[in-house]
Chain A
Amino acid sequence: MKVIILGAGQVGASVAESLVSEQNDITVVDVEPARLRALQDRLDLRTVAGSAAHPSVLMEAGIEDADLLIAVTQSDETNLVACKLAARMFNVPRRIARIRATEFLDDPKVLGPDGFDVDLSICPEQVLTEYIVKLVEFPEALQVLDFAGGRVSLVAVRAYQGGPMVGRPVKEIRGHIPNIDTRIVAIFRRDGAVLPDGDTVIEDGDEVFCLAASNNIRQVMKELRRMDQPVKRVMIAGGGNIGLRLARALEADYSVRLIEHSKRRCEALAAKLDRALVLNGDATDEELLGQENIAEMDLFVAVTNDDENNIMSCLLAKKMGARRVVALINRRSYVDLLQSGQIDIAISPAQATIGKLLAHVRRGDVVAVHSLRRGAAEALEAVVHGDRESCRLTGRRVEEINLPAGATIGAVVRAGEVLMAHHDTRIEAEDHVIVFVTDKKTLPRVEKLFQVGARFL
């Protein structure tokens, strides 16, 4: 597939990175040649320097025969204009734009065919905010992902001594919680994936991925670790776009404190927030943290745009007694360095936001994609089409399906009903199937399963 990516910022770069590895022809456009050079040195792709909204630049990037345009420059306006040009002048079939301002989203006409002609709009800040809000709601989880319109959740939990299932084989979970249907789809132990079967024993420190109906995930987590007190007090370091969105999302139900170092930004924040407390100062200032009772905080979230700052303030907050600390970290090497250390959760913005984009790039009718464990694993939800003849899934039992190693069918959603996949579950047409893939290399083979054969078309 020929893909043009506009903007070589954090999102652009990570999209490029994950698409290059899946045999696509990528062209990246950016005004900043230095950024492009850095990208080109690292990845096998083409780059064009210039303004992403200029038709001549787009033509140079080969837009005339592109299959997909991903406009993720810093500016909403540039992204919108590029999408419009791509649709009207160059007939690009699919166009994705990053839109930050919610004003553009209020009326569907703005992004519709008569407006800017955007197929899909993504807002990384919003995705990250939702990610962190989930962590506030489920303080025991490392990550909570929704499928099938929120009916099914995939939850990542670290197993700890004290959970009834720790030290027990996977198959016993049915006996522990007989009326709840759940499925352990993967276990990561010391950075390696373990493919769980019924006899795999869950160990202390394992990162366990479970699928369950959304309203049951608390009970499932209870089996794997002792439950924490619900979160009441949250401190957010950094009042940028994410900090503000997060504070707004949380201020109604939690006691929120937001630390921002710029006085001018503080004024703007205070104007937009009703109940959250806006504090002027540095999140690495020990005195300020002490004054604001950091020891009483259930959650400390560092979301400034500076990795080092986030790491240091989280380490400081943890040392001063914050119950759980979450840091936003862009640099991949830092994430690997810190996960499961002093910092409870390190969130990589690029990885967290890329899923929505990936769903559009995948072959087959893919509804949702979530990139997990820094892109090493992936969970995807796809719709099955066709009959027994044209599709390799329809009408077959799970045990009959020829899945590549490392891939697991976790659950099936049929007409709104959630079924956990067992070896004898039969897949039918129009089912939403949730597949967990621990090895990304096998992804094309999984996608192929969902494609309908030529005869069907």
Chain B
Amino acid sequence: MRLPAVLHTLSLVLLLFAGSMLVPLAFSWAYADGAQAVYAKAMGITLLAGAALWAATHRAGRELQVRDGFLLVALVWTVLPAFATLPLLLQLRDLSFTDAYFEAVSGLTASGATVLSGLDRLPPSLNIWRGFMIWLGGMGVIVLAVAILPLLGVGGSQLFKAETPTPMKDTKLTPRIAETAKGLWLVYFGLTAACLLAYRWAGMNWLDAAMHAFTTLGLGGFSTHDASYAHWNSPRIEAVAIVFMLLAAINFATHFLAWHRRSLRLYRVDPEAKVFLGVVVASILGIAAFLAWKGVYPDYATALRYAAFNVVSIATTTGYANTDYNLWPIFAPLWMLFLCSFASCSGSTGSGMKMIRAQILFKQVFRELLRIIHPRVYNPVKLGGQPIENNVVFAVLAYVFVYVSCIIIFTLLLALSGADVVTAFSAAVASINNTGPGLAQVGPASTYAVLNDFQTWVCSFAMLLGRLELFTLLVVLTPAFWRK
């Protein structure tokens, strides 16, 4: 463990993060919303802190070991939100630090749960900052998922490396992490730009289009309107959102390779993408039928529109809403919450336990069943035609056990501090999966402001834990990690 080296790297990240505040500053200036000074101040503080940390640690070696990676990742995702609160705290005087930190964590983990209301009246630049946090978070998540986690081997995430699970030959994107990150970011930038233009074409103004392009690609559900997508009530805008949410929930390495080789075949070969799309489409059709049958909507077409948007939004862990689905018969929103816990692909900006782990788990079950019938059978778990080693399967099993335990513990903690059972459970699930809205009191028509301080901290921690794939954060909290 080399704490100084880790802190040194962190200081560089902080300095970069300070630079990112130029974005809301520019918007503030362009829209003349009078908040320029706030961003200048926040940027100054962040720069100062970063520079101080840099000065204190620059003598330390720069060599990081694999183990230091855990600490660095954990620190980045806990320290940056603290600085990200500055533009919020400096503008919204009655916002507590607890709530501001929650909002910032929700942004940087690309969750989209908010404690703020009256979004339509916030300065445009502040909404941009909220959206931009999600977009930055998404950028971090992509690199985390594709380049860093496989290196650390968290919870079977060796598989996330684009080169292992598919039968494609030489799918290693590029030989170096830095090059890989650049390639993936290029795809991310490209899709964001495309999304921005599509939103504008569908009828949003430039500001809304920018903010929503950021939050759509990051798969965090912040909006500039309290009513979220119901504000526009436009099927065209919803269709654009659905397309880009689905794209952002597919492995970016697959996008990169498909673009690099100019071939759509890769999406068929990707073992996750087809199952993800299949599950989502089947859920949409099923829920629409269910809603039409229950008489929530007068006809199937309307039911299909609402089902499609909200199912995609929740399943991809985004968290937009174009209606208060909390009012639907409980089966539909529960199914959507169930989807969000596993549907997103690895290497996407979505969260949850990831489709790849769900597939391995599912196949492991059938493997055990087959073994009962044929005791001597050799049937490895296979993904995309490639066998998966047993130790990876065990890592996935442990991961899922911890994941389920966390949901239970967080539900109990929230219930202990006074939340009703649906609120507690849905808040725990929505937080750990970085989805955003839950049900009942934290439903899409409401905000997380109803939670007390303790509950807010629990949810903040749950979002961090879920975003960092549980083990990355948990390992830093074990004593063995700190032993020399």
Binding site for B on A (CB under 8 A): 263, 266-267, 269-271, 274, 277-281, 288, 291-292
Contacts and interface: CB of A to CB of B under 8 A. Distances in A.
B375 A291 contact: yes
Nearest to B379: A270
B376 A279 contact: yes
Contacts of B378: 263, 266-267, 269-270, 278-280
Report which residue of A263, A277, A291 has the largest number of chain B beta carbons within 10 angstroms of its beta carbon. Answer: A277
A279 B378 CA distance: 6
Given A277-B379, A278-B379, A271 B387 contact: yes
Contacts of B380: 267, 270-271
Interface string B371-395: 0001111111010011100000000
A54 to B, nearest CB: 34
Report which residue of B374, B376, B379, B382 has the largest number of chain A beta carbons within 10 angstroms of its beta carbon. Answer: B376
Contacts of A280: 376-378
B377 A279 contact: yes
Contacts of A277: 370, 374, 377, 379
A215 B404 CA distance: 59
A267 B387 contact: yes
Interface of B: 370, 374-380, 382, 385-387
B374 A292 contact: yes
Contacts of B386: 271
A267 B388 CA distance: 11
Contact of B387 (A263, A270, A279, A292): A270
B385 A274 contact: yes
> Which 8 interchain pairs have the tightest Cβ spacing?
A266-B378, A278-B378, A271-B387, A270-B378, A279-B376, A281-B376, A280-B376, A270-B380
A296 to B, nearest CB: 13
Contacts of B377: 277-280
Contact of B374 (A269, A270, A274, A279): A279
Contacts of B374: 277, 279, 291-292
A274 B167 CA distance: 13
Contacts of B385: 274
A292 B374 CA distance: 7
20 contacts: A267-B380, A267-B387, A269-B378, A270-B379, A271-B380, A271-B386, A271-B387, A277-B370, A277-B377, A277-B379, A278-B377, A278-B379, A279-B376, A279-B377, A279-B378, A280-B378, A288-B376, A291-B374, A291-B375, A291-B376
A7 B379 CA distance: 37
Report which residue of B375, B378, B387 has the largest number of chain A beta carbons within 10 angstroms of its beta carbon. Answer: B378
A279 B373 CA distance: 12
A271 B386 CA distance: 6
Nearest to A274: B385
B420 to A, nearest CB: 48
A271 B376 contact: no
Contacts of B382: 271, 274
A81 B55 CA distance: 65
Report which residue of B375, B377, B379, B380 has the largest number of chain A beta carbons within 10 angstroms of its beta carbon. Answer: B377
A93 to B, nearest CB: 38
Given A278-B378, A279-B376, 20 more contacts: A263-B378, A267-B378, A267-B380, A267-B387, A270-B378, A270-B379, A270-B380, A271-B382, A271-B387, A274-B382, A274-B385, A277-B374, A277-B379, A278-B377, A279-B377, A279-B378, A280-B377, A281-B376, A288-B376, A291-B374
Contacts of A281: 376
B390 to A, nearest CB: 11
A457 B212 CA distance: 82
Nearest to A258: B378
A277 to B, nearest CB: 6
A270 B376 CA distance: 13
A266 B377 CA distance: 9
B389 to A, nearest CB: 10
A279 B379 CA distance: 9
Contacts of A274: 382, 385
B455 to A, nearest CB: 48
Contacts of A263: 378
Nearest to B375: A291
Contacts of A267: 378, 380, 387
Contacts of B387: 267, 270-271
Contacts of A288: 376
A344 to B, nearest CB: 26
Contacts of A291: 374-376
Contacts of A269: 378
A204 to B, nearest CB: 40
Contacts of B376: 279-281, 288, 291-292
A279 B375 CA distance: 9
B406 to A, nearest CB: 34
A291 B370 CA distance: 13
Nearest to A263: B378
A341 B317 CA distance: 67
A269 B378 CA distance: 9
